């Protein structure tokens, strides 16, 4: 007997037939004698629709065009998960399974006060666990919690993944299965490189990099939580036949296991290639090379909630002037230029340049820590294809390379094959 948290994303609960199919997956685990909690997303497209409604409501007179009451935003957008949790509980009951739905506030899942992007603070799973032990399946509305103001909060887009991992940690589940429309985590995006392979296992740290770099399988926050609480998390498909052989395997179900690196015996040097589109580069030329310059640039950008990524500063030739280049999402360029313009006197640059439509391609693998020459291999391979590198940053387990947008796919394929990731 094990305790399992099963999470189903929007495409898996998109209509009543799919909800029935989800119920069959749940039944399989219940029939095997496991204690089961299920976390559901809203039907696919639903949250977008709800967000759209909120954004199109009349504005409060005199308010900034983008401001609406975030508490009411949460009241509206949390409703999608309320619907699917109830529907799945009904579908389970129709199969003779004892099940009930739980809204975030009923458990309760306590969050902070950041409506629209709340963080989970505490989950009191006591009553839920007691019922699970009596054989009742808990069907939990993902994405939502209860703020300190006693109002519904939501966890940011894609937040049901985080609900699932947090619940798995809170109830000390043996496993957290994230059922989605793909059957696992791949060495790279299979739409770009058909030779991409599904990984059996990936370390938390690697998955964190893959997730934050645009491999959109999981919300980044959920991977952070899984890493902190060491929740063994499987990414697997909800579209496979629920009763196919091996689907109920307790230790090795089909899919990708995200786990501690110690569990990965045959560690490859490189695990995957990720990419992030729509990056923009901003360069400040001939800055004074003195203490406080970086703070003068990045302080105001941070205050304006602009997410700065790669930062490259040149060592100045004569100790007086330097250049600073960094990247931001393309959508933030205008705002960043405005902020930097307003702070021009304080920063003291000569000219400012920018370029949009860039792509960041990253090579990821914890094996890099103990291997030399990983970066050189990438640079050589890209050079052979005539791909120009605009900026490079590295960490212990990652090399990120900024290139022109049109070369993205070629670069991904080139890197994928140069590290031997192509399936044979």
What is d(CA 300, CA 266) in angstroms, rounded to the nearest whole number? 45
- Part in contact with ligand ASP (CB under 6 A); list of ranges 23-31, 152-160, 364-372, 399-407: 152-160
Q: Which residues contact 370 (CB under 8 A, 6 or more apart)?
A: none
Q: Which residues contact 179 (CB under 8 A, 6 or more apart)?
A: 6, 7, 8, 9, 12, 22, 25, 236, 237, 238
Least distance from C-beta 201 to ligand ASP, angstroms?
24
Site for ligand ASP (CB under 6 A): which residue of 159, 272, 365, 367? 159
- Part in contact with ligand ASP (CB under 6 A); list of ranges 59-67, 102-110, 159-167, 404-412: 159-167
What is d(CA 330, CA 358) in angstroms, rounded to the nearest whole number? 8
**Residue 268 CA to its chain's centroid (Å):** 23
Tracing tokens 């500063």 back to the chain, one arrives at 313
Site for Mg ion (CB under 5 A): which residue of 125, 142, 147, 158? 158
What is d(CA 296, CA 213) in angstroms, rounded to the nearest whole number? 27
46 among the known binding-site residues? Answer: no
At residue 315's C-alpha, the angle toward residues 314 and 318, to 5°, is 125
Residue 157 interacting entry, from ligand ASP, Mg ion, none, C-beta within 5 to 8 Å by type: ligand ASP
47 among the known binding-site residues? Answer: yes
Cβ-based nearer residue to ligand ASP, 163 or 188: 163
Contact 218, 156 (CB under 8 A): no
Q: How many residues bind Mg ion (CB under 5 A)?
A: 2
| Residue 101: Cβ within 10 Å count | 23
Binding flag, residue 143, ligand ASP (CB under 6 A) = yes
Contact 213, 276 (CB under 8 A): yes
Cβ-based nearer residue to ligand ASP, 142 or 184: 142
Site for ligand ASP (CB under 6 A): which residue of 11, 21, 41, 322? 41
- Part in contact with ligand ASP (CB under 6 A); list of ranges 39-47, 60-68, 178-186, 241-249: 39-47
Residue 68 interacting entry, from ligand ASP, Mg ion, none, C-beta within 5 to 8 Å by type: none
181 among the known binding-site residues? Answer: yes
Least distance from C-beta 223 to Mg ion, angstroms?
12
Cβ-based nearer residue to ligand ASP, 40 or 387: 40
Binding flag, residue 42, ligand ASP (CB under 6 A) = yes
**How far, CA to CA in Å, does 29 sit from each of 18, 26, 249, 412?**
17, 5, 10, 38
What is d(CA 151, CA 108) in angstroms, rounded to the nearest whole number? 11
Instruction: List the interface residues with ligand ASP, window 68-87 (CB under 6 A).
Output: 80
Residue 159 interacting entry, from ligand ASP, Mg ion, none, C-beta within 5 to 8 Å by type: ligand ASP
* Residues lying near ligand ASP in the complex (CB under 6 A): 9-10, 41-42, 47, 80, 142-143, 157-161
Q: Which residues are known binding-site members for ATP?
A: 7-10, 180-181, 186, 191, 216-217
């Amino acid at each position: 007997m094990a305790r399992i948290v099963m999470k189903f994303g929007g495409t898996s609960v998109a209509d009543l037939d799919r909800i029935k199919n989800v119920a069959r997956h749940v039944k399989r685990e219940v029939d095997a004698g496991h204690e089961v909690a299920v976390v559901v997303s809203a039907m696919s497209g639903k949250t977008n629709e709800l967000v759209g409604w909120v954004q199109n409501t009349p504005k409060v007179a005199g308010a900034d065009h983008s401001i609406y009451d975030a508490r009411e935003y949460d009241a509206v957008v949390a409703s999608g998960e309320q619907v699917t949790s109830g529907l799945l509980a009904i579908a389970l009951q129709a199969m003779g399974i004892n099940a009930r739905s739980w809204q975030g506030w009923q458990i309760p899942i306590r969050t902070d006060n950041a409506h629209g992007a709340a963080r989970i603070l505490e989950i009191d799973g006591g009553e839920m666990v007691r019922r699970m032990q009596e054989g009742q399946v808990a069907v939990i509305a993902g994405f939502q919690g209860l703020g300190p103001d006693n109002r519904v909060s939501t966890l940011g887009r894609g937040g049901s993944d985080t609900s699932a991992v947090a619940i798995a940690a809170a109830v000390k589940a043996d496993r957290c299965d994230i059922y989605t429309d793909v059957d696992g985590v791949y060495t790279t995006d299979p739409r770009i490189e058909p030779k991409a392979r599904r990984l059996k296992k990936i370390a938390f740290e690697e998955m964190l990099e893959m997730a934050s770099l645009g491999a959109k399988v999981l919300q980044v926050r959920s991977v952070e939580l899984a890493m902190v609480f060491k929740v063994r998390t499987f990414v697997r498909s909800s579209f496979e036949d629920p009763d196919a052989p091996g689907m109920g395997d307790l230790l090795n179900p089909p899919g990708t296991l995200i786990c501690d690196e110690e569990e990965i015996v045959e560690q490859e040097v490189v695990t995957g290639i990720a990419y992030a589109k729509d990056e923009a580069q901003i360069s400040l030329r001939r800055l004074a090379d003195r203490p406080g310059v970086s703070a003068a640039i990045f302080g105001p950008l941070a205050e304006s909630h602009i997410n700065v990524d790669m930062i490259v500063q040149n060592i100045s030739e004569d100790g007086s002037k330097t250049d600073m280049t960094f990247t931001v999402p393309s959508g933030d360029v205008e705002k960043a230029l405005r902020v930097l313009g307003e702070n021009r006197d304080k920063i003291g640059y000569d000219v400012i340049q920018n370029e949009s439509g860039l792509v960041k391609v990253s090579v990821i693998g914890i094996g890099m820590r103990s291997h030399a020459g990983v970066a050189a291999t990438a640079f050589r391979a890209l050079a052979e294809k005539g791909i120009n590198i605009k900026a490079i940053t590295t960490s212990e387990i990652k090399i990120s390379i900024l290139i022109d947008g049109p070369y993205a796919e070629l670069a991904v394929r080139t890197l994928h094959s140069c590290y031997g990731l192509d399936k044979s």
